[in-house]
Amino acid sequence: MFVEALILSCLIGAAVVFVAPSGYAGRVAFGVSLAPLLVSLYMYLGFDGSGNAFLGGDVAYEAFAEWLQFGPYAVNYHVGLDGISMPLIVLSTVLTTLAILSAWTPIDSRQSEFYGLVLFLEGSLIGVFSALDFVLWFVFWEAVLIPMYLLIGVWGGPRRKYAAIKFFVYTNVASLVMFIGYFGLIFGLGDAISSTSMPAIAEALRAGQLGYLGTSTIGIGPDALAMAAFLAMFAGFAVKVPIVPFHTWLPDAHVEAPTPVSVLLAGVLLKMGTYALLRFNFTILPQQAAMLAAPIAAIAVISIIYGALLALAQQDLKRVVAYSSVSSMGYVILGLVAYTVYGVGGATFQMVAHGLISGLLFMTVGVFYNATHTRMIGDMSGLASKMPVTATVFLTGAFAYMGLPLMAGFMAELFVFIGTFESTVLPAAPLFAAAAMFGIVIVAGYLLWAMQRSLFGPFRLETDYELGRAPLHDVAPLVVLVVLIIALGVAPDLFFEMIRDATLDVIDVGFGGGLR
């Protein structure tokens, strides 16, 4: 009932906002978005799941209804939450509400459509994180693209059409590749499954029931099929994450998207990719993941270092944050491939932490942009003297991004580093960990440099705008995010406990309980 309440409150809210007059749409949308927010917080407090939803754990807030029959496969409405999806749902609802607040200032045309799409996006995201049936999941997965495409394409910057189409086509082609890979597995399982239920498929794969795709004479054998499916799904999700070299849609999309959309894009949409990687590749095909551990970890390290280097080269504050997202998502991949308690748990924790922190940075850049109408670092300096609160928040966010202890980002990175260091799956694990950790130096470098040039020094602004303190509804979401980031840094167990509980089984898969 609860998951449906979440999704429906978003969709009905979207419909209501769509017909609301533009002048009130922002306030109505904010009010409406409180419903899923409060429901999700209530769900978080009453969360009673244990174990991994795909691997026979107790699923919280489970709901099931028969839906369709496709040949031999039943397609059902099946949703439920475990310790991995619960934090991500809370992240989605929190960030959406805050993004709506942060949209009040910058969005000044077609407000009802804008907020309606944002709420529709929220509903789809919740669906992605809660669906347990593949077809249902895929419907939500694709549904996310539509509002995002429109949000970038209609309300974006000067090159919005290019960015929107690039985003849509890139991720959609990737979805296709992934879809083929997954259906290869479904067909390869043959009679072993009778529905597209993801837990059932995971169980069948774990039981080694993968057969030939086609026949044993002309067909693909189970090992080759599993490997091909792994690669197809990995490539598909890699675009969404994004992992180098599939990352170039991200900076374009971020730069063109309006601030609130960037917040959601970096904060939640990217997490769809890593969530799916965890749910699909690393949960259901652990042997293949272990086989490919070294190359995947190498890609992750390259993402971290290369993304950070690219961020260093940017002049546009938003591009800086966008590229650093590429870097941060590398930590998630590295944690996943480590197959340790801290590795996989830390990767999931990093999804939440990065969602909050990058959301904070994008919002802050947006607040500066609202005031200065420029995002180029070279165009401004000494903003801190004119906008002290916003500058303080930016400083906080930047330090959180650098992994300052007692903030969420540090905890996430620490977990990933520990997890990677002690990994038995990964060859030369300490070296990978050490190489990845060097990212924290480069991150500090570009963020401190960017701050030194834009926030500090004597005041100077190339664009002629009168700077004043930002309005309350711009600053309030920033403060909320800062509080959340520090809370998660001081008490990571708020989320880590349930995450750990849900990821333990993932580590167990195929490695005979080799936890360390």
Partner 1 sequence: MSVIYELTPAIVLLPLASFALALFFGAWLPRRGAVVGSLATAGTLGLSLATLAWLLLTGEPHNQTWYTLVDADATFDLTFGILIDQLSAAMLVIVSLIAFLVHVFSLGYMNDEGEPGLPRYYAGLGLFTASMLAFVIADNLLMAFIFFELVGLCSYLLIGHWFTEDAPPSAAKKAFLVTRFGDYFFLVGVVGVLVTFGTAGFAGSEGFPVLAEEAIAAGETFFGFGAETWFSVLGLLVLGGALGKSAQFPFHTWLPDAMEGPTPVSALIHAATMVAAGVYLVARMYGFYALLPTVLAIIAFVGGFTALFAATMAVVKDEIKQVLAYSTISQYGYMMLALGAGSYVAAFFHLTTHAVFKALLFLGAGSVIIAMHHDEDMWKMGGLKDEMPVTYVTFLFGSLALAGIFPFSGFWSKDEVLFETLIHALGGSPLLFGAYAMALAAVFLTGFYTIRMVLLTFHGEPRSDTAEDPHGVRWNVKFPLSVLGVLAVIAGGINLVPVEKLSGGSLHVAFLEGYLERDVGLLTHGEHYSELLHDHAGYTSAYVGSEVTTLLLGAGLSLGLALLGAGSAYGLYRGAVPTRHTEKLGGLRTLLMHNYYQDEYQVWLAEGFTVRLSSAADTFDQGVIDGAVNATSSVSLSAGSRLRRIQTGIVTNYAALILLSLLALLVVFAILGGWL
302 makes contact with partner 1 (CB under 8 A): no
410 makes contact with partner 1 (CB under 8 A): yes
Of 194 and 452, nearer to partner 1 (C-beta) is 452
Of 137 and 415, nearer to partner 1 (C-beta) is 415
Of 270 and 451, nearer to partner 1 (C-beta) is 451
Query: Among 182, 339, 342, 362, which residue interacts with partner 1 (rule: CB under 8 A)?
Result: 342
CB of 362 to partner 1, least distance (A): 20
Of 248 and 463, nearer to partner 1 (C-beta) is 248
Query: Among 63, 143, 309, 476, which residue interacts with partner 1 (rule: CB under 8 A)?
Result: 309
Instruction: Give, as one character, the DSSP assignment of residue 78.
Output: E
Q: What distance in Å separates the CA atoms of residue 338 and residue 427, rounded to the nearest whole number?
A: 10
Of 146 and 165, nearer to partner 1 (C-beta) is 165
170 makes contact with partner 1 (CB under 8 A): yes
CB of 1 to partner 1, least distance (A): 31
Integer CA distances (angstroms), 27 to 37, 115, 432, 479, in order:
15, 10, 48, 19
On whether the CB atoms of residues 299 and 252 are closer than 8 A, the answer is no
310 makes contact with partner 1 (CB under 8 A): yes
Of 54 and 246, nearer to partner 1 (C-beta) is 246
Query: Among 54, 129, 155, 421, which residue interacts with partner 1 (rule: CB under 8 A)?
Result: 421
514 makes contact with partner 1 (CB under 8 A): no
Sequence-distant (6+) residues with CB within 8 A of 211 are 188, 189, 190, 192, 222
Query: Among 411, 478, 485, 509, which residue interacts with partner 1 (rule: CB under 8 A)?
Result: 411
On whether the CB atoms of residues 447 and 439 are closer than 8 A, the answer is no
Instruction: Give, as one character, the DSSP assignment of residue 132.
Output: -
Of 230 and 496, nearer to partner 1 (C-beta) is 496
CB of 97 to partner 1, least distance (A): 24
- Which is nearest to 296 in space by CA: 437, 432, 184, 419? 432
CB of 469 to partner 1, least distance (A): 15
103 makes contact with partner 1 (CB under 8 A): no
- Kindly compute the dihedral angle of the four CA atoms of residues 92, 81, 345, 432, in this order, to the nearest 10 degrees: -70
Q: Which two tokens stand for residue 70?
A: 């496709």
Residue with tokens 């500066």: 368
297 makes contact with partner 1 (CB under 8 A): no
Of 115 and 410, nearer to partner 1 (C-beta) is 410
Q: What distance in Å separates the CA atoms of residue 55 and residue 82, rounded to the nearest whole number?
A: 11
Amino acid at 145: L
Residue with tokens 């045309």: 109
Integer CA distances (angstroms), 335 to 119, 240, 375, 412, 487, in order:
31, 17, 33, 10, 22
Query: Among 422, 461, 482, 488, which residue interacts with partner 1 (rule: CB under 8 A)?
Result: 422
Q: How many residues bind partner 1 (CB under 8 A)?
A: 61
Query: Among 5, 404, 479, 487, which residue interacts with partner 1 (rule: CB under 8 A)?
Result: 404
- Which is nearest to 178 in space by CA: 230, 137, 135, 213? 230
Sequence-distant (6+) residues with CB within 8 A of 135 are 68, 70, 75, 196
CB of 414 to partner 1, least distance (A): 7
Interaction residues for partner 1, span 312-341 (CB under 8 A):
312-314, 340-341
Alpha carbons within 13 A on the beta-carbon side of 323: 21
Q: Which two tokens stand for residue 178?
A: 């992934």
Q: What would you report as the CA-atom Rg of the chain, rounded to the nearest whole angstrom?
A: 22
Integer CA distances (angstroms), 74 to 41, 211, 440, in order:
33, 20, 48
Of 186 and 380, nearer to partner 1 (C-beta) is 380
- At 425 the three-state DSSP class reads coil
DSSP per-residue letters across 14-25: HHHHHHS-HHHH
Strands 213-214 vs 219-220: parallel, antiparallel or unpaired: antiparallel
Of 75 and 440, nearer to partner 1 (C-beta) is 440
Pick the piece of the chain touching partner 1 (CB under 8 A) from 183-191, 267-275, 405-413, 469-477: 405-413
Alpha carbons within 13 A on the beta-carbon side of 246: 23
157 makes contact with partner 1 (CB under 8 A): no
Contact track, partner 1, 204-223, x by CB under 8 A: --------------------
Interaction residues for partner 1, span 436-475 (CB under 8 A):
437-438, 440-442, 444-445, 448-449, 451-452, 455-459
Interaction residues for partner 1, span 237-266 (CB under 8 A):
244-245, 247-249
354 makes contact with partner 1 (CB under 8 A): no
Integer CA distances (angstroms), 216 to 219, 220, 222, 229, 288, in order:
6, 8, 10, 18, 21
CB of 71 to partner 1, least distance (A): 30
Q: What distance in Å separates the CA atoms of residue 82 and residue 61, rounded to the nearest whole number?
A: 9
Contact residues toward partner 1 (CB under 8 A) are 166, 169-170, 244-245, 247-249, 306, 309-310, 312-314, 340-342, 382, 384-385, 399, 402, 404-406, 410-411, 414-415, 417-418, 421-422, 430, 433-434, 437-438, 440-442, 444-445, 448-449, 451-452, 455-459, 491-493, 496-497, 500, 504, 515-516
